[in-house]
């Protein structure tokens, strides 16, 4: 249980990518990086470094993931020009 609490507490540092695994394992209270890696694998099924790589790959900015400003403007314009009433009472429509 204690190892799972320590591993979960270390996830932010791990995904931030600034500190190395050894530093993270020391800060979360694990005896060494080997013990950290073994506990991490037991919980998540992969090593901490692979977990970090997958996270970075999934959240790397790409052209497809970025919303263009003109796309947002057209969505907002459609919403404003919509004739359907979303909410109405005597003071607000």
Residues with Cβ within 8 Å of 9's Cβ and at least 6 positions away in sequence, in order, are 28
List the domains of the chain with CATH numbers.
2-59 (1.10.10.60)
Q: What are phi and psi of 64, to 5 degrees?
A: -65, -35
Sorting pLDDT into bands at 50, 70 and 90, what band is 87?
A: low
Its pTM stands at 0.61
* pLDDT, tens digit (0-9, with 9 covering 90-100), for 35-80: 999 999 999 999 999 999 988 887 766 555 555 555 666 666 666 6
What pLDDT score was predicted for residue 76? Answer: 63
pLDDT, position 58 = 78
Mean pLDDT of 6-22: 93
């Amino acid at each position: 249980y204690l190892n799972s609490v320590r591993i979960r507490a270390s996830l932010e540092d791990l995904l931030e990518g600034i500190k190395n695994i050894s530093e993270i394992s020391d800060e979360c209270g694990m005896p060494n990086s080997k013990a950290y890696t073994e506990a991490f694998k037991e919980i998540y099924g992969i090593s901490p470094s692979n977990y970090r790589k997958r996270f970075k790959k999934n959240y790397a900015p790409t052209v497809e993931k970025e919303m263009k400003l003109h796309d947002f403007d057209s969505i907002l314009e459609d919403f404003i020009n919509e004739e359907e009433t979303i909410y109405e009472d005597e003071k607000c429509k």
